[in-house]
Amino acid sequence: MKGIAVSTTVNGDAVEFVCDARETLLDVLRNHLGLTGAKEGCGTGDCGACSVLLDGQLVCSCLVLGAEVEGREIETVEGMADGDRLHPLQKRFLEHAALQCGVCTPGFLVAAKALLERNSNPSESEIRYALAGNLCRCTGYDKIVHAVHAAAGDLRRQQKARKKRKAAG
C-alpha cells in the first residue's frame, strides 16, 4: 500500500500522518490519531456525527479524504475546551440536558460552534437550519436549540466584556 504523507494542524497542534488514498479524514482522526470524539453514524454524510471544522468550515469528516487536509486546520470536539475551561456550548449543553445518549453531541457542538462564529445572535429558525445536517434521535432537538441559544448569549457577553476590558486598558 502506497501511503500519502500529510502535514496538518489538529486542534492547534502540528500533526503528521501517513494514510491510504481511500482513507477519510474520519478514519484518520479515529484510527491514526486516536481522536474518537467524532463518530461514524453512517459514513455517507447523512447524520453529521462526524462533523469537524476544516479551516473553520463545518464538514462531515466521513466525506473528506485524509489526503485533502494537507496544510489545513482541523478542529474537533476534543479541541473545544480551553484547558480545563469548558466552552460555553459544552457548559450549556450540560446545563440544559441537551444530550441523552450523547453520541451525536460532538457533532452538534462543532456544528453549533460553526454557527455561532458566523452569527452571534441566531434566531430559533437559524439555529434549527444550521443544525439540520446533524441527526439526534434522543432529544427531539428541543433542549439542544435552547442550549445553543443560551450559549450564544454567553459568547456575546464574553465578547462585550472583552471589549470593555480592552477599552478600559
Scan residues 25-64 and list those touching other proteins (CB under 8 A): 30, 35-49, 51, 54, 57-60, 62-64
* Set of cell numbers at residue 118: 458566523
- Which parts of 148-167 interact with other proteins (CB under 8 A)? none
What would the x/- binding string for other proteins be over residues 115 to 144, using CB under 8 A?
---------xx-xxxxxxxxxxxxxxxxxx
| 109-117, 152-160, 161-169 -> range binding other proteins (CB under 8 A) | 109-117
Q: Which is nearer to other proteins, 132 or 161 (CB)?
A: 132
* Distance in angstroms (rounded) separating the CA atoms of residues 17 and 67: 10
Q: Which of 7, 108, 11 is nearest to 66 (CA)?
A: 7
**Positions in 63-92 near other proteins (CB under 8 A):** 63-65, 67-68, 76-78, 80-81, 86, 90
Q: Give yes or no for a contact between 42 and 111, defined as CB atoms under 8 angstroms apart.
A: no
Q: Is 18 in the site for other proteins (CB under 8 A)?
A: no
